[in-house]
Structure 1
């Protein structure tokens, strides 16, 4: 009997773990999770696009404002853009700075190539796969993008304005700036072509100057001594026009009834209602347009479709609406 009990007990001990393994009532404990000793890796942030900005050194308030607005826009896009801005005094220096930006790794260049001779280096950059967006200046380079005011239409509007104020006959002095390349060429073309259509008997005398008030004053003082009668002045730039107005005042001349300009200078706007005997006009050509060039460069890098050339329409400002364009925060 004792032998039988022992056998039953042995069988019982043998079957117990088997029954436990087959059953579902006994939970199986799992080891507690332990925190990782190293934190999970943060996804790598996308690298910012590198955009280089090339602008002329400050020789003129409008040019200074271009660099100011370009840099401000790049700063506003700091979550997407890393930038460098370089300013130069001639084509050779700008070419060297372009090379520096390419070495830095610029994927796009916003350039204001104010001098002749930038076609070859800009074309070379484009051929290397770099996006180039020119501001204001049209150059002969295949694949270059451009944001500009309507330089030719500024000339058209200048001709219309002068004829509106003095009629279809008289003597107009046109102040061109050959050193500014396509800017002067297009403004001159618009003016001359329009005058030929609407006032073919108008006498146009052309003189060269620069986009500074100092040159406007000096050159126009000489022009006044060699021209006894002038009815209007087609000046392409606000700063030049300020010099012209000073020369007229110092010479005591009362024959000139219109002086045009271009750019959008606050100081010039404020002079408009103060001069009752001369119609002072500006074809608005805001330096803030350069922000559109920076935007275009970023859009291209992000793969967005853009127009190769974007032209900003012309707006005319004179004593009748100058107050609408005053901006105390403007750097120009």
Structure 2
């Protein structure tokens, strides 16, 4: 605001701590686009995010099918903020439909590879039989796989993350026996947020829409497996 910004595109790591300053920017007339983490009180021109409930729901549907509706799951959550709750609640609701599946444990790991490694090590020490892991995020998935490898455990047949990392797409493409799918939460939404800010400042219409920029954009959560991974895998992608 001191520098006289015309537009602000922001992904608030913890929306609760940034609510007030984003609200101040928005009310001062700065064109504001909030990405990924929804504010408690809407203070933006445009909000763009992936489908958090869809990510959890689609993950639950796919895992239940892969497990033939029976077995033990452990869950590694993200940060204790609203979008994590949306994902976990939708996942738990779907898994609850399958009485043969039991969720043994659920802990947060802040979407961190290292924290997920530590949480998974704890799960492996605590639970004698784990059939599958849902960790909702491809960064955390890497920590989970490292913990499983170092433990020497062989009964875990499925690990499901999410987001859309090219490394995970490559594993799916190469036929990894444990990582066979992921659910999208497109990292490219940041570029879309910048494009929306530019069009909003110019008061441009998007395509053949009769209105200027939308106020809320939710990007669909898509299952990516061996059948469609080629459409998503980009070897030179940043993430």
TM-score, length basis structure 1: 0.65
Question: Which residue among 144, 169, 185 is the counterpart of 1:244?
Answer: 144
Residue by residue, what CA displacement relative to the aligned partner does 1:93-125 show, whole Å, maximum 9, x if unpaired?
xxxxxxxxx111112110000113111111111
More helix per residue:
1
Question: Which residue among 222, 229, 237 is the counterpart of 1:315?
Answer: 222
Matched, 1:177 2:95: no
Which portions of structure 1, spanning 4 or more consecutive aligned residues, are displaced by more than 6 angstroms? none
In structure 2, the CA distance between the partners of 1:106 and 1:233, relative to structure 1 (3 Å rule), is same
The residue number in structure 1 matching 2:209 is none
Deviation at 1:136, TM superposition (A): 0.8
Aligned residues: 228
Question: Which residue among 27, 35, 38 is the counterpart of 1:135?
Answer: 35
Deviation at 1:167, TM superposition (A): 2.3
Q: Which has the higher contact order (CA 8 A, sep 6+)?
A: 2
Unpaired runs of 5+ residues, structure 1, are: 1-101
The residue number in structure 1 matching 2:237 is 330
Unpaired runs of 5+ residues, structure 2, are: 205-211
Helix, strand or coil for the counterpart of 1:287? coil
Question: Which residue among 267, 288, 305 is the counterpart of 2:167?
Answer: 267
Deviation at 1:228, TM superposition (A): 0.6
Deviation at 1:292, TM superposition (A): 1.3
Alignment of 1:42-53 (within 5 A): none
Residue by residue, what CA displacement relative to the aligned partner does 1:146-199 show, whole Å, maximum 9, x if unpaired?
1111111000000001111002232111111224x2331221122112222x31
Which protein shows a greater Rg? 1
In structure 2, the CA distance between the partners of 1:170 and 1:307, relative to structure 1 (3 Å rule), is same
The residue number in structure 1 matching 2:66 is 165
The residue number in structure 2 matching 1:10 is none
Contact 1:171 1:202 survives alignment (8 Å): yes
Q: CA–CA distance in 2 between the matches of 1:320 and 1:254?
A: 26
Contact 1:177 1:209 survives alignment (8 Å): yes
The residue number in structure 2 matching 1:150 is 51
TM-score, length basis structure 2: 0.88
